């Protein structure tokens, strides 16, 4: 099973974006991927409102991205998502763009 990094928005409407990320993970599973969505994990114990915690969460997510087979990008690209996309491009990890923000 290939590992898919789920790249989607978190900030803003956190409740709606969290529900979307869950749905994106299920979509990835339906397509045969093992998904990893750092924004569903790290806010469980890091405070996204804290600059230091947010930075740590992004850095941890980027480390896991390095061992993924593909990056699946959902919705409009945010600042945090751009960091993930840029790293994937640098590492030549395939990137697939899927749908818009209302998906």
pLDDT of 100: 59
pLDDT of 25: 97
pLDDT of 18: 96
- Measured CA to CA in angstroms, residue 29 lies from 17, 21, 34, 48, 99 at distances of 18, 12, 6, 26, 17
Per-residue pLDDT of the chain (103 residues; tens, 9 = 90+): 999 999 999 988 999 999 999 999 999 999 999 999 999 999 989 887 888 998 999 999 999 999 999 999 999 999 889 999 999 999 999 999 997 555 5
pTM of the full predicted structure?
A: 0.92
Domains of the chain: 2-98 (3.40.50.450)
């Amino acid at each position: 099973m290939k590992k898919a990094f789920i790249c989607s928005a978190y900030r803003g409407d956190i409740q709606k974006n969290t529900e979307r990320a869950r749905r994106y993970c299920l979509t990835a599973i339906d397509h045969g991927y093992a998904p990893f969505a750092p924004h569903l994990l790290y806010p469980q114990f890091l405070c996204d409102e804290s600059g230091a915690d947010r930075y740590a969460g992004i850095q941890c997510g980027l480390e896991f991205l390095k061992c993924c087979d593909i990056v699946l990008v959902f919705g409009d690209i945010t600042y945090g998502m751009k960091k993930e996309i840029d790293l994937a491009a640098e590492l030549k990890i395939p990137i697939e763009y899927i749908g818009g923000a209302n998906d």
